[in-house]
Structure 1
Amino acid sequence: MTLPPAARSRRLILVVDDDLIMLGLLSKFLAAEYEVRIASSAPMALGLIADGGREPDLAIFDISMPGMSGLELAGHVRANTTIPFLFLTASESGHTVDLAAAHGALGYLLKPLDLAQLGAAIVAALARADEIRGLRDSETRLSQALRQGRDTGMAVGVLMERYKTDRESAFKVMRDHARAQRRKLADVAAEVLASAESFDILATRFGAGPRN
């Protein structure tokens, strides 16, 4: 199996299958290119994940396992982690495809496995997982920027009301204060909002409402 340079780093893959022969086959094959962890049941897999440490870059779950199925395992993983996963199944029915999609899988692998196709599928799944992770990180940064921008605007409004000044002057005072203390503007804004909230809470104790 020839992989592109980016895929040759030791990415961590978790393989979960109650068929020990299949588990051994997958582990041996993937170990040539990746770091591999194995589990023969869903509870065992959840234990490995809960132990902390490094989170797998990709997981492969057999759908049909006694006790907790791969689908149930996927539900737990999706609800509590960001680990991307593939399903392993002997069925290629439309229902199986629908189930895989509904549970958030990147795809599914068919038994019996074609090892050449398996290698390509792993590379493609890792690439897709990296893309999704990048989008998620971008959304997080955007949400944080919007929140910080909203907090800054609210803090400017608090200063305008409390010191009877205009927006530009209030912003300049807050910005200059942040620069003088070598702090982020968003942190100063959060401090202003926290102080305003404290003033309003204390005002109620004196029988007055929040200042308008």
Structure 2
Amino acid sequence: MSLPSAGALKRSLLLVDDDVLILGILNRVLTLGGYEVRVATSGPMALELLAHGAPAPDLALLDVSMPGMSGLELAQHLQAYGAIAVMFLSAEDDQATVRAAIDGGAVGYLVKPIDITRIVPSVQAGLARADELRELRGSESRLTLALQQGREVGMAVGILMERNKTDRETAFRALREHARSHQRKLNDVADDILQATEVLNLIGGRANK
């Protein structure tokens, strides 16, 4: 059985399975593997743990078929506590079940009876995939923010060009120097200009009525 890398030693896992035997085996193997493990025997119990302040896990291993609330249903509820990565456990490996797991956002899928030697490597792979997805979402968010800020700065520069009858480079330099002299972010100053222009346009529109 391979051990997780040093960076993964203290990563947290949530195990949810109504089969206490399998739950015990997973708990023991993953705890010995260096992970911080919490267990629940049902979906409602898992949600209660999180609702009472337990930190969101880096990865949740969920049994697909559980009475009351299935693992697929639980995975949807877990999203209320952040983008929790999930790996599903199931005695079924038919195409429909696997497809449902993939649609449920699974980063991994273990078929019962579980090969003990594959538990830790599978969790390592699931965590690595989860990290990639988090980084991708973070990059997309940063790109969206950068594009939004770029549009706001561009609009502010256009307003300065029009009002001061100057070229784009001169207008941008004036905007940047104003931001630096007042120790403010460029986008914050641009946002002020856009808001002030909106107010002026609103007042001007009313005055012309």
Tell me the equivalent position of 2:48: 47
Higher relative contact order (CA 8 A, sep 6+): 2
Which sections of structure 1, spanning at least 5 residues, go unmatched?
Answer: none
Deviation track 1:138-178 (CA, whole Å, cap 9, x = no partner) reads: 11111111111111001111222233332222111100011
Contact 2:61 2:87 in 1 (8 A): yes
Q: Distance in 2 between matches of 1:27 and 1:157?
A: 61
1:5: Cα distance to partner? 2.6
Q: Any conservation in 1 of the 2:56–2:81 contact (CA below 8 Å)?
A: no
Matched residue pairs, number?
208
- Structure 1 pair 91–35 and aligned structure 2 pair: CA distance change class (3 A): same
Identity of aligned residues (%): 52
Q: How much does 1:80 deviate?
A: 5.8
Report the alpha carbon displacement of residue 21 of structure 1 after superposing the two structures with TM: 2.3
Q: What pairs up with 1:133-212 in 2 under 5 angstroms?
A: 133-207=134-208
| Alignment match, 1:98 | 99
User: SS of the counterpart of 1:106?
Assistant: strand
| Residue 3 of structure 1, CA deviation | 2.2
Q: Say if 2:4 and 2:120, in contact at 8 Å, map to a contact too.
A: no
1:27 maps to: 27
Whether the aligned pair in 1 keeps the contact of 2:76 and 2:104 (CA below 8 Å) is yes
Give the distance between the partners of 1:80 and 1:205, measured in 2 at CA.
Answer: 47
Distance in 1 between the 2:198 and 2:53 partners? Answer: 38
Corresponding residue SS for 1:46: helix
Q: Contact 1:7–1:123 (CA<8 Å) still a contact in 2?
A: no
The alignment's C-alpha RMSD in Å is 1.9
User: 1:6, CA displacement in angstroms?
Assistant: 3.7
For the residues of structure 1 that align with 2:35 and 2:5, how far apart are their CA atoms? 13
**Hey, what does 1:61 align to over in structure 2?**
62
SS of 1:38's equivalent?
Answer: strand
Distance change (3 Å), C-alpha of 1:53 and 1:149: farther
What 5-or-longer segments of structure 2 have no aligned partner?
none
